[in-house]
Structure 1
Amino acid sequence: MKEIKDIVAAFDRAQQQGQQTALATVVGVEGSAYRRPGARMLITEDGSLTGAISGGCLEGDALRKAQQVMFRQQSMLVTYDTTDEDDAKLGVGLGCNGIIHILIEPIVPGAPHHPIQLLKDWLQQRQSAVLATLFSLDDRRGPQPGTALLLTANGARRHAFFDSAGWHQALIDDTEEALRTGMPLTRQYAQYTAFIEVLQAPVSLLVFGAGNDAIPLTALAGVLGWEATVIDGRPNYASLQRFPLAHRVLVAKPEQALQHLLIDQRTAAVLMTHNYNYDLAMLRQLLPLQLPYIGSLGPKKKLERMLEELRSEGPDIPAEQLQKVYGPTGLDIGAEGAEEIALSITAEIQTVLTASSGAPLRNKKAPIHESRRLEVGSEK
């Protein structure tokens, strides 16, 4: 999410400066690689790079090829085989023992639904979407359609490419399947392979409390590309001057707070007002909403006391609601100061939203990322 926002912003700056641009996208990985399919990098004609397609080993070569793409105004599919010793001799050995396919597309601002415009269309709406990118492994010198289709959760479709072939309905069907399951797909349609990518809405972080310890939490959320909203009843605390990286800052009493907020399954909340009654009032309202994460700053006894008060009001709190409450909020990383606590909280939210363990990667027996062949699925 953060990478896409940065790429869109860099594209707008390049347009203002009258510079040509190209977009490099990792469309397929076989074996191990630093970045996975969907990683992107914007290249401008002056050599500026935004985003990343590797750990830094491929960027230089991709820049040279992107300059060719901008000059010819024709997409190019580039494959780096890091299992091949010859690639290492050329200076692009990644030590990852994998094959990486990268599509480099020229961005033509006047073209309808060019790749950056499709990404902009998605960013303007807070919802999940699916993006399909078409390329040909069989005919690398032939047409490379590139970023072709955006399907949003509300059913809206944006097309950048379609020919008269009969397989385009199969592509639409597969994008709908990916949107429904939330799982990316790679499919083969006649001469083209399609990488069908699932784009998740940005994390919405609701920070209840505008004390000094909330400042690094919202700042870190901004670095991650999350949309942090700070809510507090004290106008001298809840201000944009104190929280410049916050998406929104609201001054509201507990009974009014949720009236101004959009709540969905990508929303996490942290109670850190240091005001017991405010936190209790918000917990009372948040529990029935089935947020994936509700964090309570402070000792466990505080949370237990709040829950006991809510139970006394009846009815009893369902177990599935209690499972979403994390108190004390954060992972056990030995945090002391506000900045370390912010890291602890954001790390725990990330593990919850991605259903990850938070355990050290060195203890993981399987590869960090699932390895799969590029071409999966049936011929269409």
Structure 2
Amino acid sequence: MQATARRAPAYFPERHPVAATGWLRCARRFSITHNLVGPTCLMTELQRLLTAYDDYRAAGRACALATVVEVDGSAYRRPGARMLVTDDGQLTGAISGGCLEGDARQRARQALQRRQPTLVTYDTSDEDDPRHGLGPGCQGVVRILLEPLDFQDPDNPLELLRGFAQHPEPAVLATVFRCAAGQALADLGQRLLLMPDGQVRGSALDNLDLTAYIRRDADHARAQDQSLIREYPAPGGGTVRVFLEVLRPPLRLTVYGAGNDAQPLVRLAATLGWHVTVVDGRPRQAAPERFSEAAAVRVVPLADVPALPLTTDYAVLLTHNYAYDLAVLQCLLAAPTAYIGLLGPRQKAARLLEELTQAVPDAATQLRGRLYSPIGLNVGAETPEEIALSIVAEIQAVRQGRTGGMLTHSHEPIHARQADVSASDSETTMPLARYRHVVVSEPSCGV
């Protein structure tokens, strides 16, 4: 477990999104093969949890969900980390680097027996405390919500997350994890899933003002792409504490080029749960059996490239074909693609940009901050697998607004910090409560 947290400066702060107007529409039929994605292809944490949850439900095995809802200081996992615990103690997922799982497992099983949610607070900042394996590795306060899962409830936490899993836009999951004693404003573990189209799923809150506050702050969290913790005033005194978790859809990556060097890139990206599309003009190369991990494989001849539907978030050009690269770059000018990685030397990128500018005078302006060439982080990559690693690492850095430098040379936090706790705009900020060792909060609000 890491004792100190560090964060690097923002990555390419001059990067700006390109206006989404004028997107090209698909004018022709392409040869498209959609592959059934297996569990080893898009095996993200959420998908592993859902797979285990479905297995336990089919077997009639009771289980509880442990969710990190708040961290104060340094911790191995951040808010939103989840772990599934069965009635006999089997674990899926992780909420720390191993120091909290053992105790959390026992407390989750107790919550299953009581059939009540519980909030547990771990203070790992005491270096002399040997209990539960806590010590110098953690250095922070971690609050974990433990909830028995009702398989019959369509709005239990994992069912809500399942509903989001296939959505193409970010959503916000609002979770009540602390309530004022003696009031019934909300219950521990109540949730609202707020979709960008205005749809709301979950357990309805009786207090309309609280619901309005949550919806407003959820819009703010989604716009800032940052999870928040908010405290809201309760009638008669006290507060309700809510974790507003921004849920991101899988990163959409399009790999242009279906050569052998694209295969390790697609495999690695799919392992991270990214939605990968492969595009190439050669039917023999763009074959589904060569890219079984890809979500889609498209055969698009050079003449048809201008009509491609461009909705990808990230693009990598590995075509080894100058004319194809030029056509794809011209299409991506008007696309909302934040990252365009181009394989090859700087001279190739300069030549492409010069030729592109002859057709589109402001091409350089449209690509500024989005075109990355030579592609990848400088990790000394030589083999296709190493190059794939450097490309994926660079995409991850761009996505998170990081430089991709060595953590040992940085003195900034590793993880993005949660926004400060605050109440509604008319209320003052409430201080964070501090605890020592392990404290079990009320099993339900008002008790």
Q: CA RMSD in A?
A: 2.5
Counterpart-to-counterpart distance in 2, 1:294 and 1:63? 44
Determine which of 255, 273, 280 is the counterpart of 1:225: 273
What residue in structure 2 maps to residue 199 of structure 1? 247
Counterpart-to-counterpart distance in 1, 2:187 and 2:130? 27
Counterpart-to-counterpart distance in 1, 2:98 and 2:261? 35
Change (3 A) 1:300 1:118: same
Letter in 2 for 1:358: G
Are 1:290 and 1:324, in contact at CA under 8 Å, matched by a contact in 2?
no
1:36 positional shift: 1.0
Change (3 A) 1:51 1:94: farther
What residue in structure 1 maps to residue 222 of structure 2? 179
Are 1:300 and 1:327, in contact at CA under 8 Å, matched by a contact in 2?
yes
The reply to whether residue 249 of structure 1 matches residue 297 of structure 2 is yes
The reply to whether residue 159 of structure 1 matches residue 202 of structure 2 is yes
The reply to whether residue 346 of structure 1 matches residue 388 of structure 2 is no
Counterpart-to-counterpart distance in 1, 2:305 and 2:67? 40
Determine which of 382, 387, 398 is the counterpart of 1:336: 382
Are 1:150 and 1:159, in contact at CA under 8 Å, matched by a contact in 2?
yes
What residue in structure 2 maps to residue 314 of structure 1? 360
Determine which of 336, 350, 355 is the counterpart of 2:401: 355
Paired residues in the alignment total: 377
Change (3 A) 1:258 1:163: farther
Are 2:102 and 2:132, in contact at CA under 8 Å, matched by a contact in 1?
no
What residue in structure 1 maps to residue 434 of structure 2? none
The reply to whether residue 366 of structure 1 matches residue 412 of structure 2 is yes
What residue in structure 1 maps to residue 437 of structure 2? none
- Structure 1 window deviating more from structure 2 (277-286 vs 315-324): it is 315-324
What residue in structure 2 maps to residue 59 of structure 1? 101
Measured against aligned partners, the alpha-carbon deviations of 1:8-56 in whole angstroms (never above 9, x if no partner) come to 2221222222222211110011111111111111223343322211011
Correspondences of 1:263-302 after superposition (within 5 Å)? 263=311, 267-302=313-348
Change (3 A) 1:290 1:97: same
SS in 2 for 1:288: coil
Are 2:221 and 2:227, in contact at CA under 8 Å, matched by a contact in 1?
yes
Are 1:77 and 1:135, in contact at CA under 8 Å, matched by a contact in 2?
yes
Letter in 2 for 1:302: K
Counterpart-to-counterpart distance in 1, 2:420 and 2:116? 23
- Structure 1 window deviating more from structure 2 (369-378 vs 346-355): it is 369-378
- Structure 1 window deviating more from structure 2 (253-262 vs 77-86): it is 253-262
Are 1:30 and 1:374, in contact at CA under 8 Å, matched by a contact in 2?
no
Determine which of 224, 231, 241 is the counterpart of 1:188: 231
1:234 positional shift: 1.7
Letter in 1 for 2:227: P
For CA contacts below 8 A with separation 6 or more, give which structure has more relative contact order.
2
Counterpart-to-counterpart distance in 2, 1:176 and 1:371? 19
Determine which of 154, 171, 176 is the counterpart of 1:112: 154
What residue in structure 1 maps to residue 172 of structure 2? 130
SS in 2 for 1:283: helix
SS in 1 for 2:201: strand
Are 1:229 and 1:246, in contact at CA under 8 Å, matched by a contact in 2?
yes
Determine which of 257, 261, 270 is the counterpart of 1:213: 261
Counterpart-to-counterpart distance in 2, 1:260 and 1:46? 52
Letter in 1 for 2:112: M
The reply to whether residue 234 of structure 1 matches residue 285 of structure 2 is no
1:144 positional shift: 5.0
Runs of 5+ in structure 2 lacking a partner?
A: 1-42, 429-447
Counterpart-to-counterpart distance in 1, 2:112 and 2:309? 43
SS in 2 for 1:47: coil
Are 1:208 and 1:231, in contact at CA under 8 Å, matched by a contact in 2?
yes
Counterpart-to-counterpart distance in 2, 1:258 and 1:125? 27
Counterpart-to-counterpart distance in 1, 2:418 and 2:262? 41
Correspondences of 1:87-98 after superposition (within 5 Å)? 87-93=129-135, 95-98=137-140
Runs of 5+ in structure 1 lacking a partner?
A: none
Letter in 1 for 2:350: E
Task: Flag the structure with higher helix content.
Answer: 1
1:318 positional shift: 4.1
Are 1:87 and 1:93, in contact at CA under 8 Å, matched by a contact in 2?
yes
Q: Percent identity?
A: 46
1:117 positional shift: 1.2
TM-score under structure 1 length normalisation? 0.91
Letter in 2 for 1:240: P
Correspondences of 1:75-90 after superposition (within 5 Å)? 75-84=117-126, 87-90=129-132
Change (3 A) 1:254 1:4: farther
Measured against aligned partners, the alpha-carbon deviations of 1:238-293 in whole angstroms (never above 9, x if no partner) come to 222211211111122245457665615xx100111112211211111112214111
SS in 2 for 1:330: coil
- Structure 1 window deviating more from structure 2 (117-126 vs 247-256): it is 247-256
